[in-house]
């Protein structure tokens, strides 16, 4: 499930977690990680920007193989981007990948399993993701007893070396009415579906249709 690296020198125990948001619609030229979707690349860039300020931290990218025509996972595409980008050059030894999750709640469940295995301090977990589902992600983590610190993509990219590349997406995020209704329903479910198991089943059903 996990690509576990050798921890970088002076690792402080801080973990920066970021969730994928899809791959490009078709195979891109060059290395396979070039198939990263723009929203996923934006989240990876945001997480890497936080890492630049915490270079002794580890990065954890979450996301499975979300496109039927691509072999690479969202997590591996994110890793490829931050380790090859001239703006970040994150060492591969500083990156973990979780490649089996297919939705937000699933990513959190798998991340929690890894965090417990590594015995990391719950107080040193930073979650970087899109503002639209930042609160829901944090609630899932807290349902497992992880009082994570959340950082929005917009906040993380505010003084990033690639902030201008994503300015339009960060400040002009638009979602369909259907996606907005679905997100609202998933928020409501958290009153009794604290760990998101029903939410995961719903997301799979929505995607199957």
Angle at 29 between CA 65 and CA 176, to 5 degrees: 50
The most distant pair of C-alpha atoms in the chain lies apart, rounded to whole Å, by 48
Sheet holding 149-152, edge to edge: 2-3, 95-98, 58-62, 15-19, 125-129, 149-152
41 or 69, greater pLDDT? 41
The whole-number pLDDT of residue 5 equals 46
**Among 163, 152, 205, 161, residue whose Cα is nearest residue 182:** 205
Q: What are the sequence ranges of the domains in the chain?
A: 2-174
146 or 70, greater pLDDT? 146
| DSSP SS3 for 79 | helix
- Across the chain, what does the average pLDDT equal? 82
Local structure of residue 23 (DSSP, 8 states): B
User: What pairs with residue 17 in β-bridges?
Assistant: 60, 127
The whole-number pLDDT of residue 110 equals 92
The band of 6, judged by pLDDT with boundaries at 50, 70 and 90, is: very low
The whole-number pLDDT of residue 109 equals 92
Which single residue is written with the structure tokens 């604290």?
194
Positive/negative CA dihedral, 176, 150, 47, 19: negative
Q: Are 79 and 97 within 8 A, CB to CB?
A: yes
Tell which CATH architecture fits domain 2-174: 3-Layer(aba) Sandwich (3.40)
**Among 137, 121, 111, residue whose Cα is nearest residue 1:** 111
Q: Of 20-24, 109-113, 200-204, which has the strongest mean pLDDT?
A: 109-113
Encode pLDDT of 110-142 as tens digits: 999 988 888 777 778 999 988 878 889 999 999
Residue 169 has pLDDT above 60, yes or no: no
Give the whole-angstrom CA distance, residue 113 versus residue 100.
12
Range from 11-25, 48-62, 87-101, 107-121 carrying the lowest mean pLDDT = 11-25
Joined together, the tokens standing for residue 128 give 């970087």
Which single residue is written with the structure tokens 């399993």?
113
| DSSP SS3 for 141 | helix
Span 84-94, average pLDDT: 90
Phi first, then psi, for residue 3 (nearest 5°) are -95, 100
DSSP E strands, 6-75: 15-19, 58-62
The band of 23, judged by pLDDT with boundaries at 50, 70 and 90, is: confident
């Amino acid at each position: 499930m996990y690509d576990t690296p050798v921890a970088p020198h002076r690792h402080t125990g801080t973990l920066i977690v970021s969730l994928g948001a899809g791959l490009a619609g078709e195979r891109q030229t060059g290395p396979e990680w070039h198939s990263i979707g723009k929203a996923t690349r934006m989240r990876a860039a945001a997480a890497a920007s936080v890492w630049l300020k915490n270079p002794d931290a580890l990065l954890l990218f979450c996301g499975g193989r979300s496109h039927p025509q691509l072999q690479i996972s969202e997590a591996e595409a994110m890793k490829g981007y931050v380790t090859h980008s001239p703006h970040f050059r994150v060492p591969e030894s500083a990156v973990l990948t979780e490649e089996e999750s297919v939705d937000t709640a699933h990513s959190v469940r798998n991340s929690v399993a890894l965090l417990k295995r590594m015995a990391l301090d719950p107080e040193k977990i930073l979650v970087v993701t899109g503002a639209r589902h930042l609160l829901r992600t944090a609630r899932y983590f807290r349902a497992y007893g992880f009082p994570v610190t959340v950082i929005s993509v917009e906040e993380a990219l505010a003084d990033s070396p690639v902030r201008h590349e994503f300015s339009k997406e960060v400040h002009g995020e638009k979602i369909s009415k259907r996606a907005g209704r679905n997100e609202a329903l998933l928020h409501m479910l958290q009153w009794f579906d604290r760990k998101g198991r029903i939410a995961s089943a719903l997301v799979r059903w929505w995607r199957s249709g």
